[in-house]
Amino acid sequence: MNRRPLLAAGAAIIGVMLLASAWAWIQLPADSQVPIHFDASGQADGFASKGWGLLLTPLIGIALLSLLYFIPLAEPRSANLARSASAYNAVCIAVMSLLGVVQLLTVASALGWPINAASAIFALVGVLFMLIGLALPRVHSNFIFGIRTPWTLTSERSWAVTHLVGGWVFVIAGAILAVAAFTIPGSSIAWVLIAVITAVAVIPIVVSYLAWRTDPFRSHS
């Protein structure tokens, strides 16, 4: 499976994160407190020291990139995952990009720039959901990437139907969340996020079971 696009893009994103941290390090006093958590209204409610605050997210990025790069080596259905390489790389790069933007928002907040980090993050999560939805129909049956239920893993029909329907669910849910991020004020956005997560978690599971029931070639093992 070709993971070079993921490695190149991920390394570039981590590089930008580290450059942003280095630039902020020069600007901030040694005893600065860096915001690392925001409530639903966008107010910082969690802080860390200058070192941890500026380096925590890049370190998470390095660990995440390592996991995403090496975990395909453990895939039993490696041929199917190789056929899904473009979708896998696209989703992983999108996740890494979201982490990179979180780092930039952290730096901006630490420097006192007037931004609403919570709204930006909710909107970006919505965009991520939409990108995942567009990628799902191109994913072939495997154990590490996609909507994996007992029914999709034992029925090609269930896998195909679930990823087609699930793709639309992710796209619609992501669009709702992205719009709500800038139109619904305060903590109410949290309820939208809960509804979106519930939809993308429950609907594909139900669809996978119903599609499995109608597949005469399904496996019962």
Does position 32 have pLDDT exceeding 90, yes or no?
Answer: no
Instruction: Give the H or E element holding residue 214.
Output: none
Per-residue pLDDT, 220: 64
Per-residue pLDDT, 41: 61
Sign of torsion over alpha carbons 183, 186, 187, 190: positive
Is residue 67 within 8 Å of 58, Cβ to Cβ?
no
The letter for the amino acid at 119 is S
Per-residue pLDDT, 40: 63
Please give the tally of structural domains in the chain: 1
Over residues 85-125, the pLDDT tens digits come to: 999 999 999 999 999 999 998 898 888 887 777 788 889 99
219 part of a folded domain: no
Q: What is the pTM of this model?
A: 0.91
Per-residue pLDDT, 39: 67
Per-residue pLDDT, 30: 83
104 part of a folded domain: yes
Range of the domain at 9: 4-213
More confident site: 114 or 66: 66
Task: Give the span between the Cα atoms of 132 and 48, in whole angstroms.
Answer: 32
Count CB neighbours of 31 within 10 A: 7
147 part of a folded domain: yes
Among 24-33, 54-63, 110-119, 168-177, name the one with the lowest average pLDDT: 110-119
Residues found in the chain: 221
Share of the chain above pLDDT 70, in %: 95
Task: Give the span between the Cα atoms of 173 and 179, in whole angstroms.
Answer: 10
Does position 221 have pLDDT exceeding 60, yes or no?
Answer: no
221 part of a folded domain: no
pLDDT tier for residue 42 given thresholds of 50, 70 and 90: low
